[in-house]
Chains A and B, each alone.
Chain A
Amino acid sequence: MSESINITNIKDRIDRIEDILASVAAGDMEARIQTETEDDFSGIEAAIDLLINDLTEELRQREKVQKELESKLEKIQEQQKTILQQQEDLLELSSPVSKVWDNILILPVIGTLDSQRTQVMMENLLQKIVETGCTISILDITGVPTVDTQVANHLLKTVTAARLLGAECIISGISPAIAQTIVHLGIDLSTIRTKATLQDAMIFAMKQNKRDDEIRALKNIVIPNEHAD
Chain B
Amino acid sequence: MKDQLKILVLDDEPIVCKRLKPALEKLGYEVDTFIQSVEAMHQIHQTSYDIVITDLKMKEIDGMRFLEEVKKQHPQTEVIVITGFATMETAKQSFRKGVFDFIAKPFKLSEIQEVVNRAAAKIKGAAA
Same assembly: no
Q: Which residues of A contact B (CB under 8 A)?
A: none
Q: Which residues of B contact A (CB under 8 A)?
A: none
